[in-house]
Amino acid sequence: MCGWKMAPSGPGGVRRRCRRVLYWIPVVFISLLLGWSYYAYAVQLCIVSMENIGEQVVCLMAYHLLFAMFVWSYWKTIFTLPMNPSKEFHLSYAEKELLEREPRGEAHQEVLRRAAKDLPICTRTMSGAIRYCDRCQLIKPDRCHHCSVCDKCILKMDHHCPWVNNCVGFSNYKFFLLFLAYSLLYCLFIAATDLQYFIRFWTNGLPDTQAKFHIMFLFFAAAMFSVSLSSLFGYHCWLVSKNKSTLEAFRNPVFRHGTDKNGFSLGFSKNMRQVFGDEKKYWLLPVFSSQGDGCSFPTCLVNQDPEQPSTPAGLNSTAKNPENHQFPAKPLRESQSHLLLDSQTWTESSTNPGKGKAGMSNPALTMENET
């Protein structure tokens, strides 16, 4: 889990420990609800209420498959540690001293520009400055944001989710999507197979036993969660198709040439592969298969999305020529560079050689203020 450190003694440390305990309440609630649904469906509905043996076997097999995938993806979403920026994005001791001496302004930015000159970053703040986290004392990689709950910078942060008590970002976004998908299928399956018994409940076709009330509440819970999960899952499917995070949907990323809401979109197929990977056999399994290292991402210069047909301001017309490839100002990692092999057009010409591949550290909608 993110944010687990030895809390100092004193009132502040006690408050932090209490908050950490409270953060687990939504997870405990979901776990208890899941445990009850297992008992209500497997025991009270399938074993007690179903009279046809074939129906029992089929329903129990399908149910246990969905239950296992639901629990597996939920577990991975909760306990996959968020990834933080690697050491190369942290300032050196000398650079930190320079920043402390320099007042906020051009001199301050000049120190950050020198520190970032060999880093694979394309995005800026709204004012065009280097994205820097005062709290973590590092230059933020593209799509990285500081989570106020975890008190860390999270690579490709999507949001902080209280239902998993974890940040959803580069390391576990695929697991989060699968959690939504399998939980939706789980609820739809329960509602569909429970419907006929629910109807018999209202027409007094069921004996007046304990199972009767489990069947009623099970249908209501499954139907209610199906509605809410379908809208949330649909929204995240749209985000994946556009290669956006939830944060980027609320606030468009800013590049050197200006704001571009579809700056990271490479087309539907490549957007899917960035999250799920190249090997389709792993797409439905909660195992990590996302492309890249979370520190560098290909960016699209000419926006071909029908929602934003115009070229971003400040770009010259030669960029529209498919024969004239332009690459990000800083090189991509090896894990992302193969995405540039197709005839795409990219942001800003290459000027500096990149550093080596970044090492991976530990993999709420929390917005940050960038100045």
Structure confidence by residue, pLDDT tens digits, 133-179: 999 999 999 999 999 999 999 999 999 999 999 999 999 999 999 99
Tell me the C-alpha distance between 71 and 183, whole Å. Answer: 9
Specify the pLDDT at position 5: 45
Give the CA distances from residue 65 to residues 4, 53, 199, 214, in Å, rounded to whole numbers and listed in that order: 33, 19, 26, 21
Looking at the predicted structure, is the pLDDT value of residue 358 above 50? Answer: no
Tell me the C-alpha distance between 302 and 298, whole Å. Answer: 13
Structure confidence by residue, pLDDT tens digits, 280-312: 999 999 999 999 999 999 988 544 444 444 434
Nearest Cα to Cα of residue 2 among 183, 137, 172: 172
Specify the pLDDT at position 208: 67
Specify the pLDDT at position 20: 85
Looking at every residue in the chain, the average pLDDT score rounds to 81
Please say whether the beta carbons of 84 and 132 come within 8 A: no
Categorize the per-residue pLDDT at 367 as very low, low, confident or very high, splitting at 50, 70 and 90.
very low
**Which region among 109-123, 244-258, 319-333 has the lowest average model confidence (pLDDT)?**
319-333
Structure tokens at 79: 């306990």
Active-site residue, from 144, 147, 161, 167? 161
Establish whether 187 is a catalytic residue: no
Strand partners, 161: 166
Looking at the predicted structure, is the pLDDT value of residue 59 above 60? Answer: yes
